[in-house]
Amino acid sequence: MKVRISFISISVLVLVCSILGFQTNLISEAAASNSRAKAKNVIFMIPDGFSPAYAANYRLYKGEPSVMDSMLVGMVRTYSADSALTDSAAAATAMATGYKTNNGMIGRTPDGIERKTILEAAREQGKAIGLVATSSITDATPAAFSSHVFSRKDESDIAQQQLQLADVLLGGGKLFFLPETMGGKQSSRNLLEEAKQRGYRVVENRAQLESASGNQVLGLFADGDMAPELDREHTNEPSLKEMTGKAIDILRRGKDGFFLLVEGSQIDSAGHYNDAAWAMKDTESFEEAVGLARKFAEEDGNTLVVIAGDHDTGGMTVGGYDQTDAKLEVLRQVHASGLYMTKELKNDRSNVKEVLKAYAGIDVTTEEEIAIINAADAMQAINHVISKRSLVGWHTYLHTGVDVPLYAFGPGSELFRGLHNNTDLPHLVSRAMNIDFGDEKYKK
């Protein structure tokens, strides 16, 4: 009898557990279904040149976790079709089209075939389209999402294609919208006038952007790249946060949703110059734009925010110079880029001490002064002094091939968990938006 009772008890227990397990599975599936709600809007944000080392150094610089830290979901592999070290053109093409390509190519695979971008797919679904960058708006990253050319240098051709796709274009690069532009492929067309005829409101400074209205805005705030955030006070240019906010305000009016690409371009520029203060200040500027985008997504409930670096620039380290510490607080005293400080030097560089004291809060040693005076490149020498004092190391002035962080928030964000190739990202975005983008991928 005892054996039978035990058997019955065990059978009942198994049945109860099975029922509870079934119910738990139903609850889990329901929760998963809810978490995979369709994203009406996507804000895709790219901190150009950003890597885990930038993230760690920025946390020390800020003194607390960044807005992005809580959104971390994975990592991204960055190699291009022809190199372990991608450039921005190939990286952005992969993130925009789902296809690997050669360095320097935009929106095309190595065989020259044009590949649809996720922005173009969103446009086919009736969504409003925006591009924001602190470089030229025709530079590699925004170009790869919005155009198809054989070389990233063909910036006038890129500008023409962007005007056919986007409702909002905000950044630098005014020269590439004018006739007989300098650099890249020459053009006889005045794209600024064509933009006005197409219905764009053309703005060229911060005040004009603030007051801009309408559903189409072209903002060109510099002839080439915009200023580093450290130097923006010497210009009339808007911040990345201000451009992002204006773009969202305009694009959100569309009844079918929107796709906004935002690039923090100057992080990459800082890495190429090994300018630690510039890198941290533009990361701060990018974080402010992220905070605004996330707040909008929280309030809206239908917006997916995705943040992915395209590659690492400079090989930044946390600590260096045979020291066992990091001193990022040194960078909080710096109020100008090394590029700007170099322009403030006299021809004989006799005012090195005055310039670094005024703009970096540093009392340079005699050894540091002599090194800057005698350097072949004064900017590199200034940046080396500041990096060494903050114990931020660098390995190169070029890109590296390390994996980069991936962040996501909002409906569909769970799709981005784990290690991904950069070619996966547009497919994950299309799944989150429930739009047709095709499953075919080109990987080397």
- Structure tokens belonging to residue 91: 């990286």
Q: Are residues 218 and 290 in the same domain?
A: yes
User: What's the rounded mean pLDDT across residues 10-15?
Assistant: 38
Q: Are residues 297 and 327 in the same domain?
A: no
Q: Are residues 243 and 268 in the same domain?
A: yes
Q: Are residues 405 and 381 in the same domain?
A: no
Rounded to the nearest integer, the mean pLDDT of the chain is 91
User: What's the rounded mean pLDDT across residues 94-106?
Assistant: 98
Q: Are residues 327 and 235 in the same domain?
A: no
Domain assignment present for 30: no
**pLDDT reported for residue 439:** 57
88 a catalytic residue: yes
- Structure tokens belonging to residue 243: 């451009």
Q: How many domains does the chain have?
A: 2
Q: Are residues 258 and 343 in the same domain?
A: no
Domain assignment present for 444: no
C-alpha distances in angstroms, 146 versus 108, 123, 251, 262? 11, 11, 16, 13
Of the chain, the percentage scoring pLDDT greater than 70 comes to 89
**pLDDT reported for residue 436:** 87
Q: Are residues 341 and 331 in the same domain?
A: yes
For residue 254, pLDDT over 80 is answered with: yes
Domain of residue 150, CATH code = 3.40.720.10
Q: Are residues 360 and 259 in the same domain?
A: no
User: What's the rounded mean pLDDT across residues 235-260?
Assistant: 97
Q: Are residues 322 and 184 in the same domain?
A: no
Domain span at 208: 41-315+397-433
Domain assignment present for 360: yes
Residue 39 is given by DSSP the state P
Length of the chain measured in residues:
444
Helix (H) or strand (E) holding 34: helix 2-35
Domain assignment present for 71: yes
**How many angstroms separate the CA atoms of 389 and 380, rounded?**
14
Of the chain, the percentage scoring pLDDT greater than 90 comes to 87
For residue 4, pLDDT over 90 is answered with: no
Helix (H) or strand (E) holding 260: strand 258-264
Q: Which residues are known binding-site members for Zn(2+)?
A: 48, 268, 272, 310-311, 399
Domain assignment present for 184: yes
Q: Are residues 82 and 112 in the same domain?
A: yes
Q: Which residues are known binding-site members for Mg(2+)?
A: 48, 139, 141, 263
Residue with tokens 């990022």: 328
* Inter-residue contact 67 to 291 (CB < 8 Å): yes
For residue 116, pLDDT over 50 is answered with: yes
For residue 267, pLDDT over 70 is answered with: yes
- Residue 28 pLDDT grade (very low, low, confident, very high; cuts 50, 70, 90): very low
**How many angstroms separate the CA atoms of 318 and 111, rounded?**
40
The residue annotated as part of the active site, out of 51, 66, 80, 88, is: 88
Closest CA to 409 of 308, 310, 306, 309: 306
Q: Are residues 279 and 348 in the same domain?
A: no
Q: Are residues 419 and 279 in the same domain?
A: yes
**How many angstroms separate the CA atoms of 283 and 134, rounded?**
12
Residue with tokens 């996330």: 294
**pLDDT reported for residue 186:** 56
Domain assignment present for 10: no
Domain of residue 365, CATH code = 1.10.60.40
pTM of whole model > 0.95?
A: no
Q: Which residues are known binding-site members?
A: 48, 139, 141, 263, 268, 272, 310-311, 399
For residue 330, pLDDT over 50 is answered with: yes
> C-alpha angle with apex 341: 338 to 344, nearest 5 degrees?
155
C-alpha distances in angstroms, 430 versus 141, 188, 196? 19, 37, 32
Domain assignment present for 188: yes
